[in-house]
Amino acid sequence: MSTYDYADASKWRGTTILSVRKNGKIVVVGDGQVSAGNTVMKSTAKKVRTLAGGNVITGFAGATADAFALLERLEAKLEQYPTQLARACVELAKDWRTDKYLRQLQAMMIVADKNDTYVLTGNGDVVEPDKLLSGSSIIAIGSGGNFALSAALAMDDYEKDAEVLAKKSMSIANKLCVFTNDNLTVETLKIK
């Protein structure tokens, strides 16, 4: 996969990560399936983690070893810029884009704290989701990301609780994407 393929969700096989910011909560949820081609290697992987003493939530999609290497780099950036999530993400994205070793890593990440949510890619992207009319912001990555995102957007006006919305959306993604399962890891931060 070339670095230009990161933005093409159809190339990603193996996970679904969804982030919902709504009504005083930020939720990041991920499924537990690890696939190698068309084979399920593991069904209970934890692809959502807390960092920075529980103040930052991250979820990753893509190659597991690559994602862990990026998580270590993100932790270092968060230590360097402890109250500046945007700066830590931009600095990681710059390194990821320009470093010969990091440039080869095939993963994507959602990173969120009480104030902001970003998607980071190997293209150097640091994307913040749009706020919806409801005040929510919703974003997803991975092979089932578009399914979970569509479900969350459709239910946003009807489901007020961010965690319930995220879980229902992942349940829909699980029914549509063969690379997504129902073994969920859910991390939540209260915003207010």
**Could you give the percent of the chain with pLDDT greater than 90?**
59
Hey, which CATH number is domain 3-190, 3.30.70.20, 3.40.47.10, 3.40.640.10, 3.60.20.10?
Answer: 3.60.20.10
Tell me: the pLDDT tens digits for 43-57? 898 999 999 999 999
Dist. CA 128–CA 139, nearest whole Å? 9
Annotated catalytic residue 15: yes
Catalytic residue among 3, 15, 44, 117, which? 15
Tell me the pTM.
0.90
Q: Where are the domains of the chain?
A: 3-190
Tell me: the pLDDT tens digits for 124-160? 889 999 988 888 999 999 989 999 999 999 999 999 9
Nearest to 60 by CA among 96, 103, 108: 108
Q: Could you read off the pLDDT tens digit of each residue along the chain, which spans 192 residues?
A: 444 444 444 444 568 999 999 999 999 999 998 887 778 888 898 999 999 999 999 999 887 778 888 889 899 999 999 999 999 999 988 888 887 777 677 788 999 999 999 999 878 889 999 988 888 999 999 989 999 999 999 999 999 999 999 999 999 999 999 889 999 999 999 987
Dist. CA 110–CA 4, nearest whole Å? 18
Which alpha helices (H) appear in 21-158, and where do they start and end? 64-80, 85-98, 145-155
Beta strands, E only, the chain:
16-22, 25-30, 34-36, 39-42, 48-51, 56-62, 107-112, 117-120, 126-127, 137-142, 185-190
